[in-house]
Chain A
Amino acid sequence: MSVVTEDLPEGKRQRIEVSELFRRYGTAAIFLVLVIGAASQSQAFLTERNVMNVLRQVAPTGIMAVGMLFVILTRGIDLSVGSLLALGSVSCALTAAAGSGTPVAVAAAVGAGAAAGIVTGVLVAYAELPPFVITLAMMTAARGSALILASGQPIMMGDPGEALTDFGSGFVLGVPQPVILMFAVFVVAGVVLNFTKFGRIVKAIGSNAEAVRLSGIAAPRYVMAVYVISGALAATAGIISASRTGVGSGSIGVGAELDVIAAVVIGGASLMGGRGGVVNTLLGALVMGVIGNIMNLADVPGYNQQVFMGGIIVVAMLLQYGARWLRR
């Protein structure tokens, strides 16, 4: 292949598009700026305790963000994850409190999330209904189901759930166990996305679904799969939540889907599909966590925090997309 680079003056004209750099490293830059800024302002920020605290708080959002990333890569959206988190936590707490043992409790929760994902997936992938509306419906339905299951009460896991609460509050080598689970989810997702057929087709569907279909690929199967993954991971986040507090609740995770979508988008994924990666998604979730933490340390009131958070999302978008205006 003849490439026109052969007559480049050595190392001179090699210019990588600026916008590409911003897109790739924008999230990392935001994250670094935040960490450095916070560390210089507050003694408390870079202490091991605080760092672990931030990570622990981020874990459920981070895990859900992985599922959301898969969905968004196919050009979809999943608004039901907050409700499925609640459904997961209730399913887990109910089975654990009934003394069914940890494996059954985990399976019940993940199964409930996956089942909801199957329903969503069938409607979106095979009936070709718009994901925004279908997952909105699932958001309501799953919230209701979780509250019905829990009879509107918090479900204490008590002694039979001890193994779970140990997991929720336990450490391995100084790292909270839920955080380790989160990192594991990210690693597996990274491998799947970059090195498997599944990951490739998921990205391709978001870029050009028609071309994928006309390549003879069973695209609906893959679309369905991403909603199942998202549902199962949301329920997993629910298990973490239940095991941290010892309580399953049908009313937790209200609005969590918005944090999760924000994390994925700060991570540079495109809502138009096809574009996004796990490392940046993790950074996106961490950015969200760090901002919350900084403002807590600085005693910023909750309502003001929400306003700041909105601003940060806009800044992140400006960094990633604004660089395009610099050059056409």
Chain B
Amino acid sequence: MGPLVELKGITRSFGGVRALKGIDFDLRPGEVHALLGENGAGKSTLMRVLAGEITPDGGAILIDGASVAPYDPRVAASHGIAVIHQETALAPDLSVAENIFMRELPGIIAWPALNRRAAVLLKQLGFAIDPRRTVGDLAVAHQQVVEIAKALSQKVRVIVFDEPTAVLSTGDAERLHGIIAGLRAEGVGIVYISHRLEEVFRISDRMTVMKDGRVVGVTTPRDASVEDVIRMMVGRPLAALFPKAEGRRIGDEVLRVADLRRGNRVRGVSLSVRAGEIVGLGGLVGSGRTETVRLIFGADRRDDGTIHLRGEQARISSPLDAVLAGIGLVPEDRKHQGVILDMPIRTNTTMARLAPVVNALGFLRLRVERGLVEALSKRLRLKSAGVDAPASSLSGGNQQKVVLAKWFHAGTDVIILDEPTRGVDVGAKAEIYALIEELAAAGRAVLVISSEHQELFGLCDRVLVMAEGRIAGELQPADYSEERLLTLAMTRGAAPLRKAS
């Protein structure tokens, strides 16, 4: 059988930046075709071409062997091509059901029927999300699920997943892989973009590796090893992913929170982090991890609970209080809470600590700022047209690096990272882990939320597991295993195995 779609010699530039330099790509029915490459390699851009959202400068798009022109999102949709983007594009104020059936909403909406259909669809996907909830209130992971349901609400022949699992926990990711297997069996062509190589090797039939806007290789999981693919992606062999904790001394307690509460999402969380310590916060999506750290940071108002810093009670009722007290938070939702897309990388990076780049009269010291930010972006291997380029011109993973850079620059005593490596490629991940390790070595207290269990195990000195708004237990390095973590995460708050002190 011939390919469903073919992209031939696709080129596309943004200003002076050539994002795609002649890409050939094809997708056959019933295959999972993985698209791999470093942050900024051009993966998302290529898929936006396939979706008809951007017009290529050159090249052709063939569907069922015939060239299609002109090509735009409606033509793409009419051929059954659906793209689930890296950044969700849902209407945050509408309900889950409305979002799912956005394209076919009737003039007069029969709510019960619509909600029922949405519930059925979500159930098929294996998620119990209430179709009446407002999308903006859902966890990012569940928004991703709604996005998938929306794509599947119509007949698809080609479906593109752009880093769907970056925000999903292991269990949810597996459920998604089940869905993908089902689609594949039906003969749907699937493009799968991910920086989690082990899952790519597990589920894909073919892999195309991109680098700097070119295809550098097409292979299959049988013909290449993970290391081979990394070498193709990065162009250099990679050192150990997790740095060795050398000479790191764990000191006195810096952060202690007691009995934090908010509604039924956070129901009495107590924890502490010492200087030089990296503590993980694991659990399922919706277990209250993000909500908990937002309370510590003063982003939401807490119903109850106290926060102590170095033994003294801290009054934190806003992020401003938190930053002044020495607490920083890399938020989960980078698009809405992290980066300011319209503003330059430079401006984004210094936002949380402007003091070093402002003189006594309130004037900006642009040269100092540029120097600072350039050094930091080099460390993080930020791929950009320069620090004055707007954050919107960056690929997803590079935007994440900008948010990290902001809080590394802020240099607070306590730094909380909510999914810090979301959408970041392997090379940069290693660099970010090294930086986190460095922060801890400098005596900072670090709290990390991650849905990637290996990340928690590789990085953290101990891992607290949350379930249903409570800490269900604590894992020491000797106990680190997926099963233990999941067992704790699924205790549903009943009879905690071992209460964290």
Contacts and interface: CB of A to CB of B under 8 A. Distances in A.
Interface of A: 1-5, 7-8, 13-17, 195-198, 200, 203-204, 207-208, 210-218, 274-275, 327-328
Contacts of A195: 363-364, 366
B383 A2 contact: yes
A3 B18 CA distance: 9
B358 interface: yes
B324 interface: yes
B16 interface: yes
B382 A207 contact: no
Contacts of B72: 328
Contacts of B384: 1, 3
B212 interface: yes
B339 interface: yes
Nearest to A219: B320
Contacts of B378: 1
A8 B21 CA distance: 11
Contacts of B338: 211, 214
B120 interface: no
12 contacts: A8-B18, A13-B13, A13-B18, A17-B14, A195-B364, A197-B364, A200-B364, A207-B342, A211-B339, A214-B299, A274-B342, A328-B55
Interface stretch (B244-252, B346-354, B420-428): B346-354
B55 A327 contact: yes
Given A3-B17, A214-B337, 19 more contacts: A1-B378, A1-B382, A1-B383, A3-B384, A195-B364, A196-B363, A197-B358, A200-B347, A204-B343, A207-B340, A208-B336, A210-B336, A211-B338, A211-B339, A214-B319, A215-B406, A216-B323, A216-B352, A217-B320
Nearest to B352: A215
Nearest to A205: B340
Contacts of B385: 3, 5
Which of A4, A14, A200, A214 has the most chain B CB within a 10 Å cutoff?
Answer: A214
A4 B19 contact: yes
B54 interface: yes
A30 B40 CA distance: 38
B280 interface: no
Which 4 A/B pairs are nearest by Cβ-Cβ distance? A216-B323, A215-B351, A207-B342, A215-B352
A275 B392 CA distance: 14
Interface string B295-339: 001010000000000000000001110111000110100001111
Interface majority SS on A: helix, strand, loop or mixed?
loop
B337 A13 contact: no
Nearest to A208: B340
Contacts of A210: 336-337
Contacts of A211: 336-340, 351
B342 A215 contact: no
Interface in B445-472: none
Contacts of B383: 1-3
A218 B351 CA distance: 12
Contacts of B320: 216-218
A16 to B, nearest CB: 6
Which of A1, A217, A274, A328 has the most chain B CB within a 10 Å cutoff?
Answer: A1
Contacts of A200: 347, 364
B87 to A, nearest CB: 14
Nearest to A209: B340
A13 B11 CA distance: 11
Given A204-B343, A204-B347, A212-B351, A1 B319 contact: no
Interface string B38-77: 0000000000000001110000000000000000100000
Contacts of B382: 1
A217 B343 CA distance: 16
A17 B15 contact: yes
Given A204-B347, A211-B338, A216-B323, A15 B212 contact: no
Q: How large is the interface on B (under 10, 10 to 19, 20 to 34, 35 or more residues)?
A: 35 or more
B143 interface: no
A214 B14 CA distance: 30
Contacts of B337: 210-211, 214
Nearest to A274: B342
Which of B18, B297, B358, B386 has the most chain A CB within a 10 Å cutoff?
Answer: B18
Nearest to B385: A3
B213 interface: yes
B106 interface: no
A2 B340 contact: no
Contacts of A1: 374, 377-378, 382-384, 386
A22 B195 CA distance: 38
Contacts of B19: 4
A195 B362 CA distance: 9
A204 B344 CA distance: 10
A218 B352 CA distance: 11
A193 to B, nearest CB: 11
A151 B103 CA distance: 59
A204 B16 contact: no
A204 B351 CA distance: 9
Contact of B343 (A13, A197, A207, A214): A207
Contacts of A328: 53-55, 72
Contacts of A203: 342-343
Nearest to A270: B342
Given A17-B14, A17-B15, A196 B364 contact: yes
A327 B56 CA distance: 10
Contacts of B342: 203, 207-208, 274-275
B147 to A, nearest CB: 21
B434 interface: no
Contact of A208 (B319, B339, B406): B339
Interface in B63-110: 72
B176 interface: no
A274 B390 CA distance: 13
Which of B322, B340, B351 has the most chain A CB within a 10 Å cutoff?
Answer: B340
Contacts of B362: 196-198
Nearest to A196: B362
A45 B404 CA distance: 57
A1 B346 CA distance: 14
A228 to B, nearest CB: 16
Contacts of B17: 3-5
B80 to A, nearest CB: 21
Which of B17, B55, B406 has the most chain A CB within a 10 Å cutoff?
Answer: B17
Nearest to B72: A328
B319 A216 contact: yes
B140 interface: no
A190 to B, nearest CB: 13
A4 B319 contact: no
A13 B358 CA distance: 37
B186 to A, nearest CB: 31
B125 interface: no
B341 interface: yes
Nearest to B330: A214
Contacts of B15: 14-17
A250 to B, nearest CB: 37
A8 B343 CA distance: 26
A5 B18 contact: yes
Contacts of B331: 214
Given A13-B13, A197-B354, A216 B364 contact: no
Nearest to A191: B363
A215 B322 CA distance: 10
Nearest to B339: A211
Contacts of A196: 358, 362-364
